[in-house]
Amino acid sequence: MVGVPGKFKGCNTCRPEWAVFQSPPRVVKSSKKGKASSSKSQDRAELTPDEPQGRLELVPIEPLQSAWSDLISLSNLDKRFQVQIAALFTSLPSIIREAGDDDDDDGGGKLSSLSLPSYENPDVQPFLNQDEFWLRSQCLIYLSPPDENQNEIMQITTDSICLFLFEHNHSLSLSHQPPWKDPAVQNDIRRPGPLAFRTFPDHHFFVRVWRPAHISTALLNRTPTFLAAQEWLTTPWEIHPKCYLDYLMDKISLLPAVFHRADRMLAQAPTLARRLMAQDLLNNCLNIERDLDEWYALASPAGGVYQQQQHQQHSNLSNAGSIPFSTTYAFRDSVSSLMFIYYWMSLVLFYPCIDQIYWAIYEPVVDDPAAAAAAIISSQQQPMPIWQQQHHPQQHHLQHSQPHPNNSSNLHISWLKYGPKEVRELAANICRSLDYALNMTVQPDLLTTPLFVVRRFYEQQAVMGAGDGRLELMWCDGFRARLVVKGRDIQEVVQDKRWQDLASY
């Protein structure tokens, strides 16, 4: 009854029309004042469901591909589109939108052109404070009219674009509150849960934008991430398949928790309990390393991971960008270059951590913190090479171990594998791959974190080695400039088209 709580709302005349709609309608006032709504066909347009009429109904065409594929086949109103997926970091409040008066030919809402602020390379410097990670994004789409004179099967590429404009901070705090009390859980992506990111475009936003940004922030802040939970590793891919890059991100999501545990363990006094913690943590690290090695063996193509290219007249790279790397790497496609860059980046961060944990096991064990401090001070009076003091400060404590650590057979490793020489080669692999990835990618911001990691490594080398790493730092500055140019090229393409809103996050 009308006015009775829990019963149907609306006038008696409108109530029979409820069965017409899949969702409860809204009663729209008639343009004629005082006219009562009726059930006649000419008045049914005044009853509208909650969902707007004529909205885009974009449906991916099977067989479904990985979200990392730059092209996705979509259908809308019996029309097929090959849509390119792109993403760009920008300041969302600074975007100026100019709405158009024309409706979209394919049944969407109003079109609008965009004016974006000048693209600048995002600063990925970690901020070790109590601010929680946040990311905001706007999903827009431009559908280019298909060529009617061309066979539908032959329409492999078009100018259609699905664009994610986003911005986020680089801080990630660790809350010890339960999820139902943690305010961060109620404000970020955890509130809708992983079930909300299984279909387009939500799945592509989660895979290509949100997860890489959050995992990269967790790595730099050395803070655990909830994305390592099993439900976040499986549920979003119940419809769309995973690719090797997705599996790599699964394994990289485990590293921030390892870094966090290592930092807490190394800050403690060298006691027997600390040694046992170090042994357990080293065992976990070696298990993760084996998983990464298995991934590398499966993901590597039969002909090799990359092909080396010399900087000669046939190369599209300038000679200025080749110093100090005389060769660059070319990959099978943009996704391959990106996943191996992230693989090497994870090892650049992971190997020094394993090295520190390993040598922490051999530190002198003194239950009295004062005695342990005295032993460390006395041992530091012995002269040592500067590189050994920097990377293996615990090696000279072996003769003072009380007692000698009883490591299991699986904890006996070759510590040279995790030394600065090996890490330097990994950093060089990243630098040799970045230019190819930049030329091929439509999401250049994914390269900012690897660039930050290698630059920070070379900065440490420059401080240690009396000038060593200076050429690499100059190269990093040059690549940063080339990255900004690529971002502005994408920005010009974005501002040249008229867009429709698809989703916001």
Please report where in the chains the tokens 């885009």 appear, as a residue: 56
- Report helix, strand or coil for 499: strand
pLDDT value for 266: 95
Task: Dig out the tokens for 448 from the structure.
Answer: 């900012």
Task: Dig out the tokens for 79 from the structure.
Answer: 């029309």
Which residue ranges of the chain lie beneath pLDDT 70?
Answer: 1-55, 100-110, 126-130, 146-158, 172-187, 302-303, 309-322, 367-410, 465-467
Burial readout 436-457 (b: 16 or more C-beta within 10 A, e: otherwise) = bbbebbbbbbbbbbbbbbbbbb
Task: Dig out the tokens for 98 from the structure.
Answer: 């100019």
Helix (H) or strand (E) holding 167: strand 161-168
Provide the CA 185 distance to its chain's centre, in angstroms. Answer: 19
pLDDT value for 175: 53
Q: In what order do the strands lie in the sheet with 498-504?
A: 59-60, 71-76, 79-89, 161-168, 135-142, 498-504, 110-115, 96-103
Closest CA to 27 of 17, 53, 52: 17
pLDDT value for 397: 41
pLDDT value for 392: 47
Q: What are the residues facing 4 on neighbouring strands? A: none
The count of other CB atoms within 10 Å of the CB of residue 342 is 23
What residue ranges do the domains of the chain occupy? 1-51, 55-240, 243-494
User: Radius of gyration (Cα) for the chain, nearest Å?
Assistant: 28
Helix (H) or strand (E) holding 342: helix 334-361
Exposure of 386 in the CB half-sphere (CA atoms within 13 A): 5
pLDDT value for 362: 87
pLDDT value for 129: 60
pLDDT digits (tens, 9 = 90+) for 390-447: 444 444 443 344 445 666 656 777 878 898 899 999 999 999 999 999 999 999 999 9
Task: Dig out the tokens for 321 from the structure.
Answer: 């960008």
Largest CA distance in the chain: 98
Sign of the C-alpha dihedral computed for residues 331, 335, 339 and 344 taken in this order: positive
Could you tell me the CA-to-CA distances from 377 to 326, 370, 373, 405, 442 in Å, in that order? 45, 11, 6, 21, 53
The pTM (predicted TM-score) of the whole model is: 0.78
Whats the size of the chain, residue-wise? 505
pLDDT value for 79: 85
pLDDT value for 155: 45
pLDDT value for 256: 96
CA separation for the pair 275, 287 (Å, rounded): 19
pLDDT value for 286: 94
pLDDT value for 320: 46
Please report where in the chains the tokens 């997705």 appear, as a residue: 246
CA separation for the pair 200, 280 (Å, rounded): 42
pLDDT digits (tens, 9 = 90+) for 196-241: 999 999 999 999 999 999 999 999 999 999 999 999 999 999 999 9
DSSP 444-486: GGGGHHHHHHHHHHHHHHHHHTTSTTHHHHHHHHHHHHHHHHH
| CB 41, CB 96: distance < 8 Å | no
